[in-house]
Amino acid sequence: MTALILCFSPRSWQRAIGLAGLWATLQGAAAPALAASSPVEQRTSTSHGAVVAQSVDQAYALYQRSRELLQAGRYVEAISLAEEALAIVEVKLGPEHANTGASLNNLALLYESVGRYSEAEPLYQRAITIAESQRGPRHPSTAVGQNNLAVLYVFMSRHSEAEPLYQRALAIREVHLGPEHPDTASSIVGLAGLYE
């Protein structure tokens, strides 16, 4: 797996963790399930008027292109494609589907990367709710959302809200992934950053 590390500020390690999570999600977490889904009826437009693809497979293609744009630093274009892909996934799979949650998380990470924190927060919250209901409150997918929301709260200087999210994500990751896993380490680093 290729890692994407971008450094923008003194808190760049937090952003790198979040963007690395986005990169991993775009590379594979949602991809197999999206690719395995069958086409459903066509939706003709999104809230911003763009023509939407006919199938979830095409949503996956939009994610792939979004990933390329992210790598190229073309965030606005990457966000547009991620928004379109989310619209497709929500219509095709439903608003409570696990892949809808992953799509919400992906878009929130992109919003966060360009400082659109107030738009990212409700997406993370919804992604966590979906992960908890679809996979359980102690599932690694739930921990991804919790960790990402904690990073966002740190960016927003809402440290008291970040701490319990990091703690819950860390507890889940230690049990399911082990203490040496990179995702576990990202929760430890995030939590340690709060105590500095």
What domains are defined for the chain? 12-194 (1.25.40.10)
pLDDT digits (tens, 9 = 90+) for 56-101: 899 989 989 998 999 999 999 999 999 999 999 999 999 999 999 9
Hey, how many other C-beta atoms are within 10 angstroms of the C-beta on 81?
24
Q: Is the pLDDT of residue 131 over 90?
A: yes
Mean pLDDT of 121-130: 98
Would you say 187 and 147 are in contact if contact means Cβ atoms under 8 Å apart? yes
pLDDT at 37 (0 to 100): 35
Whole-number percent of the chain with pLDDT over 70: 72
Say how far apart CA 178 and CA 140 lie, in whole Å: 11
Tokens of 141: 């997918």
pLDDT at 196: 85
Q: Give the C-alpha separation, 33 to 40, whole Å.
A: 15
- pLDDT confidence tier of residue 55, bands split at 50, 70 and 90: confident
Whether 49 has a pLDDT exceeding 70, the answer reads: no
State the pLDDT at residue 54: 58
Q: Which residues, 6+ apart, have CB-to-CB distance to 1 below 8 Å?
A: 24, 27, 28
Say if residues 145 and 124 touch (Cβ distance below 8 Å): yes
Each residue of 22-32: pLDDT tens digit? 444 444 444 33
Alpha carbons 57 and 43: distance in angstroms, whole number = 14
C-alpha–C-alpha distance, residues 88 and 74, integer Å: 22
- Which structure tokens are listed for 129? 């709710």
Q: 11 pLDDT band (50/70/90 cuts)? A: very low
pTM confidence score: 0.74
Confidence of residue 175 (pLDDT cuts 50, 70, 90): very high
